Chains A and B, each alone.
Chain A
Amino acid sequence: DSGVTQTPKHLITATGQRVTLRCSPRSGDLSVYWYQQSLDQGLQFLIQYYNGEERAKGNILERFSAQQFPDLHSELNLSSLELGDSALYFCASSEGQAFYNSPLHFGNGTRLTVT
C-alpha cells in the first residue's frame, strides 16, 4: 500500500461531460503529481502541485485543470470529454518538490471510460 488514495476507481461517462478525480497524498507528502496512462501515449505527466501551488506543467490539455487544497488533497477536473480522454489517470505524491531526491508514490489510478 503506497498510502496514496484515488477515487473513484472507475468512471464511465459520455462525451462532452465533465468529471472530477480526487487524490489524497501519502501522509506528510507535500507534492502531488497527475499522470495519464494510455496504450498509445504511455505515461504522460500532466501537472504537479507543491504545498498548494502549481509547480510544473506537462502535457495537460486546456480542457483539464487541477488544484491542490489546503489539506493537500488534489482534484483533477476533466471537461468537454472526448473519446480519446479514456485512460488511466494516476496520482502520485512525494515529500519534496523535486523528483530526483524524493521518489514518487503512486495511487492505484482512476480508470476513465468515455463513451
Chain B
Amino acid sequence: GNSVTQMEGPVTLSEEAFLTINCTYTATGYPSLFWYVQYPGEGLQLLLKATKADDKGSNKGFEATYRKETTSFHLEKGSVQVSDSAVYFCALSPDDKVIFGPGTSLSVIP
C-alpha cells in the first residue's frame, strides 16, 4: 500500500542552524510528493512539491529532492529562523488521493 514515514519530533534547533526532516515513502507507480507546513492555529499550507524523479522543489529557503532510488523526499533548510517554528507534513499523491505523514514539529529558539 501507499504510506509516508517521517522522522519523529519534536525537533528543537537554534536560530541559523541547518534543518533536515526525513521523509520516506512507499507507493505504487510514480507519485507526486509534497511538503506542507502548519503554523500554530492555522490550516496546512503547501510549502513545495516535486512531480517526478530528481525534481527539486524549493520555496522560502526550503528544498527537497525527489529521490526515486531511495524513495525519499527529505526537507532541508540551510539556516532556520524562529518564524519557521511549525509542524511539517510530508505527503504523497500516487493517484487522485493524498496521503499525509504524521507530521514533524519544529521549534526554533533564538
Of chain A, the residue at the smallest CB distance from B51 is: A100
Q: Which residue in chain B gives the minimum CB-CB distance to A96?
A: B96
Shortest CB-to-CB span from B29 to chain A, Å, is 10
Distance in Å from the Cβ of A72 to the closest Cβ of chain B?
18
- Known contacts A43-B103, A45-B98, A104-B98; is A99 also within 8 Å of B44 by CB? no
CB neighbours (8 Å) of B95 from chain A are 98, 100
Interface residues on chain A, number (Cβ under 8 Å): 22
**B69 within 8 A of partner (CB):** no
Known contacts: A42-B102, A43-B103. The answer to whether A104 contacts B96 by CB under 8 A is no
Closest Cβ–Cβ distance, residue B68 to chain A (whole Å): 16
Among the interface residues B42, B93, B97, B102, which one has the most CB atoms of the partner chain A within 10 A? B97
Q: Within 8 Å of chain B (Cβ to Cβ): is A103? A: yes
| Mask: chain A, 92-115; 1 = CB below 8 Å from B; 0 = not | 100001111101111111000000
Shortest CB-to-CB span from A73 to chain B, Å, is 17
Q: Is the CB of A43 within 8 A of B31?
A: no
Query: Which B residues have a C-beta under 8 Å from some C-beta of A?
Result: 31-32, 34, 41-46, 49, 51, 89, 93-103
- What 5 pairs across the A-B complex have the smallest Cβ distances? A106-B43, A100-B93, A100-B32, A99-B98, A98-B96
